[in-house]
């Protein structure tokens, strides 16, 4: 069921983006009197799942979910319909239109995706606001995971600055972004009553962007261990532990924080452990014996950080949401440009950052959360616009590149050249799609066999 929810979110998001992208080509084409023969969601080699002729245009849904297309008369595109190009140009054909009109038609798709991405960001902020944990409120500091520890951070540190930027909002992704994309190489922390500077080695840009590390946390807020979830059929529930009970010791050893509990119970499989427990309405410590399962678990989860630390929320009015959404989109696009730059420098490996449908789908999560769905859709819309602008024949950016050449030079590339260039571009794009999804499959195989 979880997999179906993930697939459903991915398909719906991509369907919205593809249809609106193609509408961005369709609308100016029709405004300029250009005939559009087909408007398809997904590709339809040999057959389609659905089609309906309305006027001059056939609308349909293909069976190959690798994108979508509009087939514009008199244009060499991924359909490779060269037969129509043998006849004399007709007034309703793409090739008969002035270069500036053809340029607008080709830029229509990415324009819609850019506008849509910024708009959705704005509406997410308007509908949900922006909640965050002020770093100063996390008074117990950070609890580091293995990656954060290897980087030089320590549990109990108070992170003060990332480079020269104050660490105001508690979010380990800010550190990841700064190190991997902005080339920040210093973190300032308060440790044992004094400020210390942690120097980050250049290798961490590569390490943090490796596929297996993308979901790993560098650190989380350090929290006491109050039970936020107790599985009904788990060892803890059977021993009588309840939600909001607080565990303060294990076998007589104090465990003030959740990370201390994790360290104390690690490796204790099928073992009886004595917990010191306080209930919510009675601070008297009682002893509770719990036998761990074969995985060394007691089937509980801690209360979230906001149970202990006060968060803040920024509410956006309708008009306020637009500049805020635009700034969010610009920062996201800026990060993409910087990431590409780091790839060219060799600091980030392309094979580690590249991912196919499985990688994209995993970002939506296994539960349907509308705020996350729309945030992901906005991000994908901007990525789709950015990728389509790459000067690769068969993509919009390739067509734009040749049209700009025509506008500047006054010479139009021949149909034969455009046909060959489009074929080369199509092979490149198809190769990238195969590579990206092949990497996902390889990662899945490695994960299955524990590699």
Tell the residue number behind the tokens 């508690």, with chain if given.
170
Give pLDDT tens digits for 132-147: 999 999 999 999 998 9
The number of CA neighbours under 13 Å toward the Cβ of 143 is: 17
What's the whole-number mean pLDDT along residues 302-306? Answer: 93
pLDDT at 110: 94
C-alpha to C-alpha distance for 295 and 267, rounded to whole angstroms: 8
Domains, the chain, with CATH or none: 2-115+390-448 (no CATH), 132-221+303-314 (2.30.42), 227-302 (2.30.42.10)
Q: Is the dihedral of CA 81, 83, 88, 90 positive or negative?
A: negative
pLDDT at 128: 94
C-alpha to C-alpha distance for 260 and 120, rounded to whole angstroms: 41
Give pLDDT tens digits for 151-199: 999 999 999 999 999 999 999 999 998 998 888 999 999 999 899 999 9
Q: How confident is the model at residue 447 (pLDDT cuts 50, 70, 90)?
A: low
Q: Which of 327, 354, 325 is nearest to 339 (CA)?
A: 354
Q: Which of 145, 162, 156, 134 is nearest to 222 (CA)?
A: 156
C-alpha to C-alpha distance for 113 and 17, rounded to whole angstroms: 7
pLDDT at 443: 65
Q: Range with the lowest mean pLDDT among 13-17, 329-333, 347-351, 395-399?
A: 347-351
pLDDT at 92: 87
Give pLDDT tens digits for 278-294: 998 877 899 999 999 99
For residue 166, the SS3 value is strand
Q: Range with the lowest mean pLDDT among 230-234, 340-344, 347-351?
A: 347-351
DSSP 411: -
pLDDT at 314: 93
Give pLDDT tens digits for 414-423: 777 877 887 8
Tell the residue number behind the tokens 């244009």, with chain if given.
75
Measured CA angle at 246 (ends 243, 247), to 5 deg: 120
């Amino acid at each position: 069921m979880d997999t179906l929810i993930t697939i459903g979110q991915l398909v719906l998001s991509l369907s919205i983006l593809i249809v609106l992208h193609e509408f961005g080509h369709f609308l100016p084409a029709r405004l300029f009197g250009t005939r559009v023969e087909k408007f398809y969601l997904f590709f339809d080699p040999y057959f389609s799942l659905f089609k309906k002729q309305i006027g001059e245009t056939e609308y349909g849904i293909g069976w190959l979910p690798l994108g979508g297309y509009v087939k514009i008369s008199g244009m060499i595109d991924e359909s490779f319909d060269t037969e129509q190009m043998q006849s004399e140009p007709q007034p309703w054909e793409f090739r008969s239109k002035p270069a500036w009109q053809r340029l607008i038609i080709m830029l229509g798709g990415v324009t819609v995706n850019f506008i849509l991405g910024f708009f959705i960001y704005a509406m997410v902020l308007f509908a949900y606001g922006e909640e965050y944990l002020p770093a100063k409120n996390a008074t117990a500091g950070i609890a580091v995971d293995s990656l954060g520890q290897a980087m030089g951070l320590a549990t109990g540190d108070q992170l003060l600055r990332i480079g020269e930027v104050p660490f105001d909002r508690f979010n380990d992704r800010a550190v990841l972004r700064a190190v991997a994309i902005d080339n920040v190489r210093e973190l300032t922390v308060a440790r044992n009553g004094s400020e210390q500077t942690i120097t980050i080695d250049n290798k961490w840009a590569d390490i943090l962007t490796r596929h297996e590390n993308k979901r790993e946390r560098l650190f989380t807020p350090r929290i006491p261990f109050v039970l936020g979830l107790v599985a009904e059929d788990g060892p803890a529930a059977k021993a009588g532990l309840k939600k909001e009970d607080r565990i303060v010791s294990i076998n007589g050893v104090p465990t003030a924080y959740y990370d201390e509990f994790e360290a104390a119970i690690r490796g204790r499989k099928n073992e009886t452990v004595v917990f010191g427990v306080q209930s919510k309405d009675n601070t008297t410590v009682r002893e509770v014996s719990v036998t761990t399962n074969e995985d060394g678990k007691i089937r509980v989860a801690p209360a979230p950080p906001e149970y202990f630390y006060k968060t803040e929320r920024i509410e956006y009015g309708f008009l306020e949401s637009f500049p805020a959404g635009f700034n969010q989109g610009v920062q996201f696009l800026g990060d993409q440009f910087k990431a590409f730059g780091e790839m060219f420098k060799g600091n980030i490996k392309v094979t580690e950052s590249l991912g196919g449908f499985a990688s994209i789908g995993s970002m939506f999560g296994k539960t349907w959360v509308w705020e996350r769905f729309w945030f992901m859709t906005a991000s994908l819309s901007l990525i789709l616009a950015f990728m389509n602008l790459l000067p690769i024949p068969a993509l919009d950016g390739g067509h734009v590149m040749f049209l700009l050449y025509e506008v500047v030079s006054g010479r139009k590339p021949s149909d034969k050249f455009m046909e060959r260039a489009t074929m080369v571009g199509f092979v490149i794009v198809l190769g990238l799609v195969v590579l990206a999804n092949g990497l996902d499959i390889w990662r899945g195989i490695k994960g299955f066999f524990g590699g």
